[in-house]
Amino acid sequence: MPQNAMTNCLTCKTAYVLKELGVEEDYKNQIRKEQLQRLLLVLLVVFIGSGVIWLIDRGTPKLFQWHWNGTDGKLYDWVGLDSCPQFLVYFIMTTPVVFILFIVLFIFIGLYMLFFAIVGAVGSAADRIGERRVRTVQTSFQQVKNLQPLAQKMMYFIFMTICRFQ
């Protein structure tokens, strides 16, 4: 088990002896309840975020599914350059459109990736909130028996530091 401030004294590294304060079954039920709420909250955030991303994908305008060859030469006739080859007219007309679409595409991809990051951050925050609630329940059912006063810990730390350098 990893050592941390909740389980071990950070100065002398001795493990705390924990005294249970409540009924163990109530403790386990509350822990399970908080863990389930934590899981449901994270799943809800991810589900809602995924739904919004799906809606963005489904909302692609029909304009982007429009093709030049579906116009039956109307653009070529509109330009009025009968002496130029048709592919050259289409190339000249589509170059600025493609350039603008690339700029818009990069902006939307950036926003799309930003939205993924926001969903991940909110999911992580929801997980941290749930973790804190679980830890609150754990600490409400446990009390440290062998907690030493700070002065005694400092004396022990100073003594060990002096002994180490001799």
Contact present, 157 and 13 (Cβ < 8 Å) = no
Q: Residue 7 falls within a domain, yes or no?
A: no
Q: Which domain holds residue 128?
A: 18-144
For the chain, give the percent of residues with pLDDT over 70.
Answer: 63
CB atoms within 10 A of CB 76: 19
Q: Is residue 36 part of a domain?
A: yes
Give pLDDT, residue 2.
60
Count: domains in the chain: 1
The model's pTM: 0.36
Residue with more model confidence, 140 or 73 = 140
Instruction: Say if residue 137 is exposed, middle or buried (CB neighbours under 10 Å; 0-12, 13-18, 19+).
Output: buried
> Rounded to an integer, what distance in angstroms lies between the CA atom of residue 147 and that of residue 6?
11
Q: Does pLDDT of 70 surpass 50?
A: no
**Statement: residue 148 has pLDDT above 70:** no
pLDDT at 64: 53
In-domain check, residue 6: no
Cα 34-24-18 angle, rounded to 5 deg:
95
Q: Where are the alpha helices (DSSP H) in the chain?
A: 24-58, 74-79, 86-140, 150-164
Residue 69 belongs to some domain of the structure: yes
Residues 6+ apart with CB under 8 A from 112: 53, 56
Average pLDDT over residues 119-135: 84
Q: Is residue 1 a part of any domain in this protein?
A: no
